[in-house]
């Protein structure tokens, strides 16, 4: 079945003609994409709406308040070796997450080359960067809570700042944490050779494929993608 579908997909028209033909045909829509990948994309689309609504709620409260909004550049500034660096922690967190996205892309690449060891290694490195990010976020939360930021108020201005901050970064941090767990599980499976031997999974009782590394990667890159928007719209704006 799969084999036939793949062959058909290779012969199908491309471009707009292909777009119409794929959607109008009385079969599966996503021709050369496995169900696992298609479902991950659809999940990510739903997650886009969740984060989209958070950011949009933040925009609404920030635009409608008559009280001045705290300046994120100063709120997230740190004293490093006696130098005052605005927003430095957030910048480092951004670089850490981008680096983890890079190592994730490497893992996917090695996975399709069936390079078991390097794939597992890159997945673990990605997970370490992810954990580092969550750690820095925990530090940031601790610092802000000590300075008196609460979901209902803060010392610098509009009360909505705290609720928007904790909601958006908290939800994103949860995503990163889940991603790290997800990465470690997949790394273990790759290291053990599950995707070479077709060893049945604990949860699905079905053999996995190296494509699972790419699907995990989609989730991880999405987490990085969301951070791009949070960084621009919450921290820099």
Partner 1 sequence: MAHAADVHAGHGAAVHAPVAQEVGQQHPIRLYLVVWIWLFVLSTFSYLVDFFHLQGLLRWSLILAFMMLKAGLIVAVFMHMKWERLALGYAILVPPVAVLIFVAIMVLEADNTLLSRLQFFSRAPG
Subset of 11-50 contacting partner 1 (CB under 8 A) = 14-16, 18-19, 22-23, 29-34, 38, 41-42, 44-45, 48-49
Is 184 near partner 1 (CB under 8 A)? no
Q: Which of 136, 157, 182, 209 binds partner 1 (CB under 8 A)?
A: 209
Which CB, 11 or 146, lies closer to partner 1?
A: 11
Is 185 near partner 1 (CB under 8 A)? no
Q: How far is the CB of 74 from partner 1 (least distance, A)?
A: 10
Query: 19: which residues sit within 8 A by CB, 6+ positions away?
Result: none
Which CB, 21 or 178, lies closer to partner 1?
A: 21
Q: How far is the CB of 188 from partner 1 (least distance, A)?
A: 21
Which CB, 25 or 174, lies closer to partner 1?
A: 25
Is 53 near partner 1 (CB under 8 A)? yes
Query: Which residues from 143-172 bind partner 1, rule CB under 8 A?
Result: none
Q: Which of 69, 78, 86, 184 binds partner 1 (CB under 8 A)?
A: 86
Q: DSSP letters of the chain?
A: -HHHHHHHHHHS--HHHHHHHHHHSSS-SSTTS-HHHHHHHHHHHHHHHHHHHHHHHHHHHHHH-SSPPP-HHHHT-EEETTEEETTHHHHHHHHHHHHHHHHHHHHHHHHHTT-HHHHHHHHHHHHHHHHHHHHHHHHHHHHHHHTT-BTTB-SSS-THHHHHHHHHHHHHHHHHHHHHHHHHHHHHHHHHTHHHHTPBPTTT-SB--THHHHHHHHHHHHHHHHHHHHIIIIII-
Of residues 103, 117, 124, the one with CA closest to residue 191: 117
Which CB, 55 or 131, lies closer to partner 1?
A: 55
Contact 218, 124 (CB under 8 A): no
Q: Which of 69, 75, 80, 108 binds partner 1 (CB under 8 A)?
A: 108
Q: Which of 69, 109, 185, 199 binds partner 1 (CB under 8 A)?
A: 109
Is 101 near partner 1 (CB under 8 A)? yes
Q: How far is the CB of 124 from partner 1 (least distance, A)?
A: 18
Taking the alpha carbons of 111, 114, 115, 121 in that order, is the dihedral positive or negative?
Answer: positive
Q: How far is the CB of 133 from partner 1 (least distance, A)?
A: 14
Which listed range, 1-9, 126-134, 135-143, 148-156, lies at the site for partner 1 (CB under 8 A)? 1-9
Which CB, 42 or 145, lies closer to partner 1?
A: 42
């Amino acid at each position: 079945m799969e084999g036939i579908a793949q062959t058909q997909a290779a012969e199908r028209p491309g471009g707009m003609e292909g777009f119409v033909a794929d959607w109008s045909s009385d079969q599966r829509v996503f021709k050369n994409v496995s169900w696992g990948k298609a479902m991950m994309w659809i999940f990510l689309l739903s997650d886009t709406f969740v984060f989209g609504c958070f950011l949009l709620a933040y925009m609404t409260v920030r635009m409608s308040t008559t009280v001045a909004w705290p300046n994120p550049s100063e709120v997230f500034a740190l004293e490093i070796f006696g130098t005052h660096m605005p927003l430095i922690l957030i910048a480092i967190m951004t670089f850490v997450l981008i680096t983890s996205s890079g190592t994730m892309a490497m893992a996917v690449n090695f996975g399709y080359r069936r390079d078991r060891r390097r794939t597992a290694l890159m997945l673990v490195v990605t997970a370490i960067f992810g954990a580092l990010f969550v750690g820095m976020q925990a530090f940031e939360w601790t610092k802000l809570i000590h300075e008196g930021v609460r979901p209902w108020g803060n010392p610098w201005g509009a009360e909505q700042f705290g609720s928007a901050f904790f909601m958006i970064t908290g939800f994103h941090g949860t995503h990163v944490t889940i991603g790290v767990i997800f990465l470690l599980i997949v790394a273990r499976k790759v290291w053990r050779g599950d995707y070479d031997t077709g060893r049945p999974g604990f949860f699905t009782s079905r053999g996995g494929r190296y494509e699972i590394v790419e699907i995990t990667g989609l989730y991880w890159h999405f987490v990085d993608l969301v951070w791009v928007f949070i960084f621009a719209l919450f921290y820099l704006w």
